[in-house]
Amino acid sequence: MDKQLHWNTAYATRQEDGLTWFEDTPKQSLDLIQTYATPQDGVIDVGAGASRVVDGLIAAGYKDITLLDISATALDVTKTRLGADYATPTYLVTDITRWHPMRKFQVWHDRAMLHFLTDEMSKEAYFGSMSAALATGGYAILSTFAQEGPETCSGLTVQRYSSKFLFETVDLEIRDAFEAVQDIQYMHKTPSGNLQAFQTLVLRKK
């Protein structure tokens, strides 16, 4: 499967609020990012898609924002929506499993991207980049479908996690590099009203 084509098609054929993962106001993500990074810190949203997290960060005064996604179409939706603010973030169109970070961030935020990585090599590459991209004392905020969440998203099989299983998975790939500092279970309501069980794990890089 051509992953880039899959995701570009998803964003090209549906309106933002026609996507199951759409959030009008991504409150939990914004609250967590603002807890773990100041407006002067670098924040990367991995698998940012067309999420409105960036709108909230810009409104809160954050300037060092990087949006990474495999889909240029998704990031174009964001650029158009941001209007005059479109030049504030840095945009990276790349597959996270092939990306080699050239700098450090204080916060790595990922909502609903990591769970699409189902093979060991992809997970190893992802957590390697996450560790390399985070400053010592930086935080990863990882939200995935929970163990009782949906088995697929956007027609793709996902890896579901409990926060304990996710911590064990990270620790297996990058031994002893992170400590768990917060975990949250919550329900996401899709635009059509279905409920999806998510878990969020916050990790601190030692």
Ligand X SMILES: C[S@@+](CC[C@H](N)C(=O)[O-])C[C@H]1O[C@@H](n2cnc3c(N)ncnc32)[C@H](O)[C@@H]1O
Kindly identify the residues of this chain, within the stretch 76-105, that bind ligand X according to CB under 6 A.
95-97
In the bound state with ligand X, the residue whose beta carbon lies nearer, of 51 and 106, is: 51
Residue with the shortest CB distance to ligand X? 49
**Cα–Cα distance list, 106 to 92, 98, 133, 141, 195 (Å):** 17, 21, 9, 11, 31
Helices 72-82, 3-13: axis angle to 10 degrees equals: 40
Residue from 33, 37, 44, 69 binding ligand X (CB under 6 A): 69
Contact between 159 and ligand X by CB under 6 A: the answer reads no
For the bound state, the minimum distance from the C-beta of residue 182 to ligand X, rounded and expressed in Å, comes to 18
Which amino acid is present at 76?
D
Contact between 106 and ligand X by CB under 6 A: the answer reads no
Neighbouring-strand partners of residue 90: 66
What is the H or E stretch that residue 108 is in? Answer: strand 105-111
Residue from 77, 82, 153, 184 binding ligand X (CB under 6 A): 153
Residue from 48, 57, 130, 170 binding ligand X (CB under 6 A): 48
- Distance CA(102)–CA(100), nearest Å, equals 6
Contact between 113 and ligand X by CB under 6 A: the answer reads yes
Reading the block at residue 61, the tokens are 């005064």
Reading the block at residue 3, the tokens are 């992953």
In the bound state with ligand X, the residue whose beta carbon lies nearer, of 49 and 138, is: 49
Question: Which residues of this protein are in contact with ligand X, per CB under 6 A?
Answer: 3, 7, 21, 47-49, 51, 69-71, 74, 95-97, 111-113, 116, 153
